[in-house]
Amino acid sequence: MLTYSEALEFIHGMTKYGIRLGLDKIEKLLDLLGNPQEGIRVVHVAGTNGKGSTCAMIDSMLRAAGYRVGLYTSPYLEVFNERIRVDGKNIPDEDVARLTEMVKNAVEEMERKGWGQPTEFEVVTALGFLYFKEQKVDYLVLEVGMGGRYDATNVITPLVSVITPISYDHQQYLGDTLAEIAGEKCGIIKPGRVTVTAPQSEEAMKVIEKTCRELKSPLVKVEDEVSYRLISWGVEGQTFELKTSKRDYQAVRIKLLGDHQLDNAATAVAAVEALQHYGIEIPMDAVKKGLEEARWPGRLEIMRENPCVLLDGAHNIAGIQVLKGALSKYFPGKRIILLIGILGDKDYMDMLSEIIPLADSVVATRPDSPRALSAAELGESIKKVAKRENLKVFEIDDIETAVNAALDMASPQDLVVCAGSLYLIGKVRSILRK
């Protein structure tokens, strides 16, 4: 049998087949594995930003109601096993090894039959379905990898389809306009099944509304049917009131920071309430308890004090704008040392134009990804967008050295912000936790 490290070597070895959108390979792979995805009750979540935290909140609320819940997300921050969770616990190493061997055998069978090779994401998705089936989960909260229509997760018929805010990302795969990108995300909407959408741009919302009309999918629009009022906020969390078409929730608390998390919480509550369409009632106290207990590491996460160290996986322009707003709200007047690393296939010049003016010093580093900009490339780009010549920019490829450099620059009153690719944030998180 494979060892855990051999299993990961096989999985990550599939990266050589690149990113390929389409359902043909994943359907063949799952068929050889006995179609483990069938019969699982799914909440399917697509969107550009907020998918992960929305999934985490839905998962937490369903668990607080006493259900056994699977959670499938990507990418991982620190260990691969984070991507596949049941009742808040990562899949054990031995199950990764054992189930990967089953998937590997099916992949070899595909090759023998001349069906070609699946991608890494398809292999991991199949592994996840096998585990969730074995674990007999009551519900699976399933995050789309990219897009929706041709994403490997789109082989199920969900109870509820959820679409978080849509913005520009992965244009080379999903299209150049918001309408085109929204069209791909709307691929998870299924005939007669409920759809919940977060607030959207007018261009994206039109596509969602049209798709729901054509598929006779009941549509819940958070901006029309859910309202909230912020009561108090600070670096410890946020308290707010939430009113839906079904209930009034008083003194709701979340530990997640940022105004956008209120929209994500509203979307998650609407998704859980949409289960009532199928006769599934989630008690009010489970909703409130689940929201308060929800965690989503690496997103506006405070890792230590004196100096305060903030991690945020702001990996596209919308994410950077959210980070920018949060810095102004939670840390006004703080001297900011920015540690940043970005992938080369992102709109990184626009991202830098937003965030660099807030920084007093910048450490450019290289995320742990073959798609990453080198520290030198990123440093040159930072200097191009900087509005002042005296901005200190340090270029350090090694992440641990870069983290130590940023910390050394900071006095106890300063703020160290680590931002950009999740491949960077996961590594930084591991370093800080050591």
Q: What's the pLDDT at 173?
A: 65
Contact 421, 313 (CB under 8 A): yes
Q: How confident is the model at residue 318 (pLDDT cuts 50, 70, 90)?
A: confident
pLDDT of residue 175: 72
Contact partners, residue 34, CB within 8 Å, separation at least 6 = none
The residues, any chain, with a CB within 8 Å of residue 153's CB and separated by 6 or more, are: 44, 72, 125, 142, 143, 144, 145
Give the mean pLDDT of 333-339: 96
Identify the residue with better confidence: 125 or 316: 125
**Structural domains of the chain in order of their starting residue, each with its CATH number:** 4-293 (3.40.1190.10), 301-433 (3.90.190.20)
Could you tell me the end-to-end alpha-carbon distance of the chain, in angstroms, rounded to an integer?
Answer: 32
Q: Which residue has the higher pLDDT, 173 or 236?
A: 236
Share of the chain above pLDDT 90, in %: 88
Nearest to 237 by CA among 260, 261, 253: 253
> What count of Cα atoms within 13 Å lies in the side-chain half-sphere of residue 404?
8
125 pLDDT tier (thresholds 50, 70, 90): very high
Q: Per the structure block, which two tokens stand in for 310?
A: 């903030």
What is the per-residue pLDDT across 164-202, written as a single tens digit (0 to 9) for each?
A: 999 877 666 677 799 999 999 999 999 999 999 999 999
- Could you give the CA distance from residue 257 to residue 238 in angstroms, rounded to a whole number? 7
> What is the b/e burial string over 37-53, where b = at least 16 CB atoms within 10 angstroms of the residue's CB?
beebbbbbbbbbbbbbb
Q: What would the pLDDT profile of 127-156 be if each residue is shown by its tens digit?
A: 999 999 999 999 999 999 998 999 999 999
Q: Does the pTM of the predicted model rise above 0.85?
A: yes
Report the alpha-carbon distance of residue 334 to residue 272 in Å, rounded.
38
Maximum C-alpha span of the chain? 63
> Which residue bears the tokens 């595909």?
110
CA angle 156, 49, 249 (to 5 degrees): 85
- Mean of the per-residue pLDDT values for the chain? 94
pLDDT at 311: 97
Question: Residue 395: pLDDT above 90?
Answer: yes
Q: How many residues does the chain have?
A: 434
d(CA 232, CA 251): 10
As a whole number, mean pLDDT of residues 308-336 equals 92
Token pair for 403 = 């983290």
Q: How far apart are CA 61 and CA 287, in angstroms?
A: 5
